[in-house]
């Protein structure tokens, strides 16, 4: 399968070949969200991602990849994850269950060729997998939906386990650290780089301008705020998917740590010469951001890009998403989910319709002026003014 040149404007170091398939630079990483930071348009992504979620699928497509090779099962059947479907519907070849030794045989930056599920390097076969089709993905998704009840049951069990382990944090706020950023009585906007976050941030611009909420970026959400032209006040997370630029922007840093106190992200903070507050919790980083805002007296919490439905919890692919469900119950009526706001308020009036509306209004005003006594007086005055102007103009040349 050959990819048109227009799909790969930024392809670098590509070998010119008449062989079939896609020939491009390979980018290799077992962490998909880390890989998407350095992927260039036209390159081939080699990943190790069980149940590719929607956010990862959209990120890979947004990078302009020419193909995706996954050494794991893109759809394991545990739940109907959306990533593979998004990739294939965008026209990008998606190879699943490829041989694991691809990560040893292909180095980052190698030029490889992908054809019918087989990966070639310098003419040699270095790996092979199953090239997915829309029909195969639809069938796998249907099978996954059939077993969804099992996942809901597991989700409920995980929820109970989280209550046992984090009950004091959820109920009494025990363990929430002190921070210097004031939130008492203020609005707080929490941004996660998730579903529709760009559209929602754009829609919320008037709200941000009017209320000036405290801006909290959750890991990559801090970069999303910077990209939108905002400076985050607080950055929360384990800092594995946030840029150095964001961590150095002056925001207060809150490192998400394990319950035993280990905080892998703290080392990176210290390397940058910054200080950070540690927040131990078994929940997700977006959970502790909400709990932090709630504990510090936020009047309203607006969430962008977070997970709000069961499908999204499962699509995240983590049993710990049960914590998000309970966190939302804990925060309660303070929380407003901005997801979908852009679609709700997107204008349905086109420019021609708007012009027609203006012209109609002007005509209506003109008719009203012509028929009313006040309008007649006004029109007579305009006519007298026009006649006087013409008389004066003619007098200049006579």
Write the pLDDT tens digit of every residue in 209-263.
989 999 999 999 999 999 999 999 999 999 988 999 999 999 999 999 988 888 8
pLDDT band of 349, cuts 50, 70, 90: low
Q: What whole-number distance in Å separates Cα of residue 20 and Cα of residue 31? A: 29
Nearest to 238 by CA among 293, 178, 286: 286
Give the residue range(s) of CATH 3.50.30.10 domains in the chain: 5-144
At residue 309, the pLDDT reads: 63
- Residue 125, C-beta contacts closer than 8 angstroms, at least 6 positions apart: 118, 119
pTM of the full structure: 0.61
CATH of 5-144 among 1.20.1080.10, 3.40.190.10, 3.60.20.10, 3.50.30.10: 3.50.30.10
Hey, what's the torsion of the CAs at 207, 209, 212, 215, to 10 degrees? 80
Q: What is the DSSP letter of 176?
A: P
* In the block, residue with structure tokens 């490192």: 255
Q: What whole-number distance in Å separates Cα of residue 56 and Cα of residue 373? A: 68
At residue 5, the pLDDT reads: 39
Q: Residue 44: what are its φ and ψ, rounded to 5°?
A: -100, 125
Q: What whole-number distance in Å separates Cα of residue 67 and Cα of residue 114? A: 8
pLDDT(138) > 70: yes
* Residue burial 329-366, b: 16+ Cβ < 10 Å; e: rest: ebbeebbebbbebbeeeeeeeeeeeeeeeeeeeeeeee
Separation in Å, CA 76 to CA 22, 169, 369, 389: 26, 34, 71, 83
pLDDT band of 353, cuts 50, 70, 90: low
Structure tokens at 235: 């950055």
Helix axes 148-172, 134-146, angle to 10 degrees: 60
pLDDT(131) > 90: yes
Q: What is the DSSP letter of 177?
A: P
CB atoms within 10 A of CB 142: 10
At residue 362, the pLDDT reads: 76
């Amino acid at each position: 399968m050959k990819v048109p040149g227009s799909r790969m404007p930024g392809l670098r170091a590509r070998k010119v070949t008449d062989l079939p398939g896609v020939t491009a630079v390979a980018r290799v990483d077992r962490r998909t969200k880390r890989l998407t930071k350095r992927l260039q348009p036209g390159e081939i992504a080699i990943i190790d991602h069980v149940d590719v979620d929607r956010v990862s699928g959209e990120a890979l497509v947004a990078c302009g990849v020419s193909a995706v090779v996954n050494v794991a099962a893109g759809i394991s059947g545990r739940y109907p994850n959306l990533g593979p479907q998004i990739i294939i519907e965008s026209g990008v070849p998606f190879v699943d269950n490829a041989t694991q030794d691809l990560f040893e045989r292909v180095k980052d930056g190698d030029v490889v060729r992908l054809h019918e599920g087989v990966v070639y390097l310098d003419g040699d076969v270095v790996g092979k997998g199953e090239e997915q089709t829309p029909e195969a993905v639809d069938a796998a998704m249907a099978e996954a939906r059939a077993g969804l009840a099992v996942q809901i049951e597991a989700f409920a069990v995980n929820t109970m386990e989280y209550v046992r382990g984090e009950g004091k944090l959820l109920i009494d706020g025990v363990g929430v650290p002190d921070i210097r950023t004031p939130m008492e009585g203020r609005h707080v906007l929490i941004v996660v780089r998730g579903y529709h976050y760009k559209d929602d941030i754009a829609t919320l611009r008037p709200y941000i301008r009017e209320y000036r909420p405290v801006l909290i970026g959750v890991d990559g959400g801090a970069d999303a705020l910077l990209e939108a032209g905002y400076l985050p006040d607080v950055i929360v997370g384990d800092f594995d998917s946030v840029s150095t630029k964001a961590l150095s922007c002056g925001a207060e840093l809150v490192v998400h740590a394990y319950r035993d106190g280990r905080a892998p992200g703290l080392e990176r903070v210290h390397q940058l010469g910054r200080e950070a507050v540690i927040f131990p919790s078994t929940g997700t980083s977006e959970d502790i951001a909400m709990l932090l805002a709630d504990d510090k007296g936020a009047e309203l919490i607006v969430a962008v890009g977070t997970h709000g439905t069961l499908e999204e919890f499962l699509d995240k692919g983590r049993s710990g998403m049960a914590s998000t469900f309970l966190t939302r119950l804990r925060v309660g009526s303070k929380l407003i989910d901005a997801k979908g706001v852009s679609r709700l308020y997107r204008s349905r009036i086109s420019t021609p319709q708007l012009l027609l509306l203006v012209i109609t209004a002007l005509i209506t005003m003109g008719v009203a002026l012509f028929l009313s006594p006040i309008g007649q007086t006004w029109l007579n005055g305009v006519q007298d003014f026009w006649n006087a102007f013409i008389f004066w103009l003619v007098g200049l040349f006579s």
